[in-house]
A and B are shown apart, each in its own frame.
Chain A
Amino acid sequence: MSDFRQNHLLAALSATQLKRLSRDLEAIEMPLGDALYESGRQPQYVYFPTTSIISLLYVLESGASAQIAVVGNDGVVGVSLFMGGETTPSRAVVQSAGLGYRLAARAIKHEFIRGGPLQGLMLRYTQSLITQMAQTAVCNRHHSVDQQLARWLLHSIDRLAVPHITMTQELIASMLGVRREGVTEAAGRLQKAGVISYRRGQISVLDRRKLERLSCECYEVVRKETARLLPWVPPH
């Protein structure tokens, strides 16, 4: 059974605030590949993942996309809603199936405008998201596919209870904005080195330490910043 306190952002709210919001919180399933948002649309809900992971992607005119952030039980999808955006600039896709909660746009806006702890938490989370986005934008230019794959795997398993993630290489490729062969080769190298195993769409991280060494520094920069900004998220 899913509990909304499994989302660390919701869990950090005061009892009174949670009580007010709980009427509008709705538990939902998030199947792999489902799009919660399409870019340019007006979002109706914000989403608080509990056991699922959502990828935020920027979609170019050509249809190509690049991942900009990963949101799991540490955060919320739909920050643009309370920052005054009329439409969402990104596509939000479920990259690891699981559960989560959604909250109507009206309810979160209302609560945000009231100020108080929820506003502070959301602003802090926004800062951590900005850090992740800035680092990813730079990473996309500076680091190899191998390093980026390692970074993405680490960010993903940090948001899961177990070090396994079910994913097709095609999805990973579209997420990282690289060719599929690039992902196949990089995953092959990680597997050969005994860092991951990859079988029937399931990636298991076998040697986390080594994966951290193979990742670019972007993983550590974002992890540290997140720990500093969101102290209520348990360390990995």
Chain B
Amino acid sequence: MEESARSAPIRNQLLERLPRARRVQVIARCERVQLVNMESIAEAGGEMRNVYFPTGSSISMLVPMGESLPPEVRLAGSEGFYGISVALGMTISPVHVRVQEPGSAWRIGSAAFRRELARTPTLRDCVNRYIFVIMTQLMRNAGCNRFHSVPQRVARRLLMMADRAHSATFHLTHESLANVLGVRRVGVTEAASALQRHRLIEYSRGSVTVLDRPGLERASCACYRDDIALYRRYLG
């Protein structure tokens, strides 16, 4: 499903950072698309045809590990974009890429995106800063995965998902959460039940509602707060 591009409001923060004239120029090359839940954007080892700037949707990148459900390495929402590898000059995807939260996005062909990068230094600069932020976050995840408890990581993840869905309510199954965090399902169920008992979230039929955001932030490890500070500093 595609709608008329130029009338829709932009809510992608990376594009918002561009000077107006440059933003208009980049968006003129984009199409507005609606992403469907779990839609495949790219396959590991396959070609990366398009780059996406989410505006309400979110896109998940999964490491192929020979398991039925590959673990997630990162989640891109309206704070950034999907297509770092394209920006770094690659054509083949190292990861599986799926829509995590359905919604709208700006889509641009990989070749067109590279042309825009080459002729628009401010876009290159924004993209590089975003890559720096993502590398920092990957490092943080390596530490978080190793040292923080499952309940803390569940809280961090729920906050990240609410931010990217631009809504206190979003889709989620315990199974996908367990998979994303790389922990057993029962661990996730216990953590989610505890959060529900404390009235921080409400969980029903595959959807989560955040009821008490400050409370959920306190339940999360410091990684969530550190992520927000990083975004403000480099992308705010």
Contacts and interface: CB of A to CB of B under 8 A. Distances in A.
A137 B73 contact: yes
Contact of B125 (A84, A85, A89, A90): A84
Contacts of B92: 228
Interface string B188-228: 00000000000000000000000000000000001000000
Interface residues of B, number: 39
Contact of A123 (B89, B143, B183): B89
Interface stretch (A57-65, A94-102, A165-173, A186-194): A57-65
Given A126-B88, A126-B131, A90 B139 contact: yes
A173 to B, nearest CB: 12
A141 B85 contact: no
Nearest to A82: B128
Interface string A187-222: 000000000000000000000000000000100010
Interface string A213-236: 000010001000100110000000
A42 interface: no
B116 to A, nearest CB: 15
Nearest to B90: A127
Contact of B135 (A66, A130, A140, A142): A130
Contacts of A90: 139
A76 interface: no
Interface stretch (B63-71, B101-109, B157-165, B166-174): B63-71
By secondary structure, the A interface counts as: helix
Nearest to A121: B89
A229 B84 CA distance: 14
A185 B147 CA distance: 20
B28 interface: no
Given A84-B132, A130-B84, A137-B145, A68 B90 contact: no
A228 B93 CA distance: 12
Find the residue from B125, B147, B181 having the highest chain A CB count within 10 A.
Answer: B147
A80 B234 CA distance: 12
A133 B139 contact: yes
A68 B138 contact: yes
A123 B114 CA distance: 13
A142 B89 contact: no
A129 B131 CA distance: 12
B115 interface: no
B20 interface: no
A105 interface: no
Given A130-B138, A138-B73, A217 B145 contact: no
Contact of A127 (B74, B85, B125, B234): B85
A177 B89 CA distance: 33
A131 interface: yes
14 contacts: A56-B139, A58-B139, A58-B140, A58-B143, A64-B143, A66-B146, A67-B142, A80-B136, A82-B128, A123-B89, A130-B85, A130-B131, A137-B138, A141-B182
By Cβ-Cβ distance, the 9 closest A-B pairs, closest first, are A141-B182, A137-B142, A89-B136, A134-B73, A141-B145, A83-B132, A58-B139, A127-B88, A84-B129
